[in-house]
Amino acid sequence: MRHDDGTTGDVTDQQISDQLAVLNAAYGSNGYQFTLLSINRTDNTAWSTHFPGSAAETAMKNALAINPACTLNFYACDLGGGLLGYATFPNMYPENSNTHGVVNRYATLPGGTAAPFNEGDTCTAPGLDPIQNFMDYSDDACMDQFTLDQEARMDSQVATYKPSLWTGCGASACVLNQSLSFTSGTLNMNFVLMTTVPATWNVYLSVNDIAVSLFSIPLPTISQPISVPLSIPGFPNLGGIGALTTLTTPTSGIICSDWNTVVTGS
């Protein structure tokens, strides 16, 4: 979650990959693994610098959350006030609530500038104080373990409040990202798609609150995200253009958030 300048608060793909590796190193022995679904870089200073419980937090999560029951939505923000990050407890909201997720200060990701809270969990120093425990407030370099009771609590919390993670999240059809530009009479679009079942992809163009269907095509199963570039030449100059794209499945399943993006024609 970057500032409006598109730079402040940015993290690299390598930092994201390294953060994922840290999560898997920490949780892997407890039976939990994380895989990257998508990366969405959004420029919004108010969202990036929000405070927990604020209207900005709600707006950010409602706009960006993807399938909270089956996905850990992770937001890297420019949090202030010395806050390194925060998360909701699993019992606070229904498992499909957009409010769930983890919000971290972007500088705490591996390679960030928030030393000593940016080094991962590599320390093995002994001691009576549980500085090695992930739930302690030690420096990052000291934390590298959970207790057996903490492992049992993870399983209990998932079974009670996040059962979809164990019972299966079913079919999903997602537009993971999209970008739009309009130059010299050509509408340029790029979509990132992923479906776990055959689906129908509908793309609409909404101008002045009137939606026009651009196309509706069937898709096979797409198990890994793919990029689909599309261009429509000879497009009239309409000024502000709102584009809406949806994916629907023929059977019951999870439909990821629709996208609503505004671009300016030229």
Token match 């370099």: residue? 141
> pLDDT 10s per residue in the chain (266 long)?
999 998 999 999 999 989 988 888 888 777 777 878 788 899 999 999 999 999 999 999 998 998 888 888 999 999 988 888 899 988 999 988 999 999 999 998 988 887 777 653 422 234 455 656 655 555 666 665 677 777 778 878 887 888 777 655 665 666 666 677 777 777 777 777 777 777 777 776 655 555 666 777 788 887 777 888 888 777 665 555 555 566 655 544 444 444 444 444 44
pLDDT, position 262: 45
Q: Over the chain, what is the mean pLDDT?
A: 75
Is this model's pTM higher than 0.95 or not?
Answer: no
Find all residues with CB under 8 Å of 55, minimum gap 6, and list them: none
Asked whether residue 125 is domain-assigned, the answer is yes
User: Which DSSP helix (H) or strand (E) runs through 58?
Assistant: helix 55-64
User: Which DSSP helix (H) or strand (E) runs through 56?
Assistant: helix 55-64
What residue numbers bound the domain in which 220 lies?
172-264
User: 156 and 57 in one domain?
Assistant: yes
CB 134 within 8 A of CB 26: yes
User: 140 and 21 in one domain?
Assistant: yes
pLDDT, position 253: 46
Pairing of strands 172-183, 186-195: antiparallel
User: 67 and 45 in one domain?
Assistant: yes
User: 209 and 163 in one domain?
Assistant: no
Side-chain half-sphere exposure of 19, counting CA atoms within 13 A: 23
Asked whether residue 7 is domain-assigned, the answer is no
Asked whether residue 8 is domain-assigned, the answer is no
Helix locations, 177-242, DSSP H: none
pLDDT, position 183: 73
CB 105 within 8 A of CB 85: yes
pLDDT, position 73: 92
Residue that terminates a domain, selected from 167, 185, 218: 167
pLDDT, position 229: 85
CB 220 within 8 A of CB 238: no
